[in-house]
Structure 1
Amino acid sequence: MIRDDIKAAQIAAMKAGDKESRAAISLIQSAIKNRDIEERVKAQPMEDDAMVVEVLQKMVKQRRESIDMYVKGGRQELADVEAAEVAVIERFLPQQMSEAETSAAIEAIKAELGASGMKDMGRVMAELKARHATTLDMSKASGLVKAALS
């Protein structure tokens, strides 16, 4: 489980005296704990690894947006801190699908559903997320789906 890998990395970072990694991993654990609390009230909680991957992907996205803002604002030292956090977070994410693999998955789903135009984009995206959410960046996949359906 990803959660166990994160806990083991936290212990290793503490033993090694790696303050930056330890701080980033603490942020990860905090975000996962918050999501656990949110999931308690749901009738049908998500599978654990899928939920953890979703939290990690959201954290990476937030930090990439922060990096863009810091660079535009001339605060490179803050952008570097965020980039270091992204590197730590990405260690726990499963290998992402390549663009070619993503396109192949989209074409397979498109053929299965009989999708022909933009009106079917929601159905294709929902099926793509159901099958490949943990190994796919949905924001990039959205553009590929749009291109495939137009």
Structure 2
Amino acid sequence: MIRDDIKAALVTAMKSGDKQRTAAIRLIQSTIKNRDIEQRTATQASTDDDALVVEVLQKMIKQRRESITLYEQGGRQELADAEKAEVAVIEGFLPQQMTEDETKAAIDAIVTEVGASSVKDMGRVMAVLKERHAAQLDMSKASGLVKARLSQ
């Protein structure tokens, strides 16, 4: 499980004295713990633990990428570099991401399976894509690829 990998990485980072990595991993654990608390109080159906962790990690990466853009526009390169370092740590815990070619192949297969023929069918294709490949895809990029595929 990804949680176990995160715990082991924290111990390793602490033993090696890598303060930046230790801080980033503690932040990851804190965010996951907050999400656990939110889910406990919400009346949602329980999901797969790894899926929950992947969702949290992807959200953290998205937030940091937005921060990097803002810091670079504001001329604060040292803060952008710190955010980039955190992104690298967080990405280390995500499952292997699909390449663009693999993504396009998966989209083509789903489009054929669902029988999608226009952009109106995008919701159905995205639902199946998310169900099967959410952990291996950046869904915002996949959305653009699906739209391009259905617009042909």
Deviates more, 1:122-131 or 1:36-45: 36-45
Offset, 1:129? 0.1
Distance of aligned partners of 1:110 and 1:75 in 2 relative to their CA distance in 1, 3 Å threshold: same
Contact kept, 8 Å, 1:53 with 1:134, in 2: the verdict is yes
Aligned length: 150
Deviations 1:60-92 (A, max 9, x none): 111011000000000000000000100110110
Offset, 1:42? 3.0
Contact kept, 8 Å, 1:28 with 1:56, in 2: the verdict is yes
Alignment of 1:17-36 (within 5 A): 17-36=17-36
Amino acid of the structure 2 residue aligned with 1:28: I
Tell me the residue number matched to 1:105.
106
Tell me the residue number matched to 1:85.
86
Offset, 1:58? 0.6
Q: Measure the CA separation in 2 of the matches of 1:43 and 1:17.
A: 39
Tell me the residue number matched to 2:15.
15
Q: Measure the CA separation in 2 of the matches of 1:99 and 1:43.
A: 32
Amino acid of the structure 2 residue aligned with 1:96: Q
Unaligned runs of at least 5 residues, structure 2:
none
| Superposition TM-score, scaled by structure 2 size | 0.97
**DSSP 3-state at the match of 1:111:** helix
Q: Aligned pair 1:118/2:116, yes or no?
A: no
- Percent identity of paired positions between Structure 1 and Structure 2: 73
Distance of aligned partners of 1:43 and 1:68 in 2 relative to their CA distance in 1, 3 Å threshold: closer
Tell me the residue number matched to 1:76.
77
Spell out structure 1 runs of 4+ moving beyond 3 A: none
Q: Measure the CA separation in 2 of the matches of 1:81 and 1:32.
A: 21
Q: Measure the CA separation in 1 of the matches of 2:44 and 2:56.
A: 19
Q: Measure the CA separation in 2 of the matches of 1:104 and 1:87.
A: 27
Q: Measure the CA separation in 1 of the matches of 2:124 and 2:132.
A: 12
Q: Measure the CA separation in 2 of the matches of 1:43 and 1:56.
A: 20
Tell me the residue number matched to 1:96.
97
Contact kept, 8 Å, 1:39 with 1:46, in 2: the verdict is no
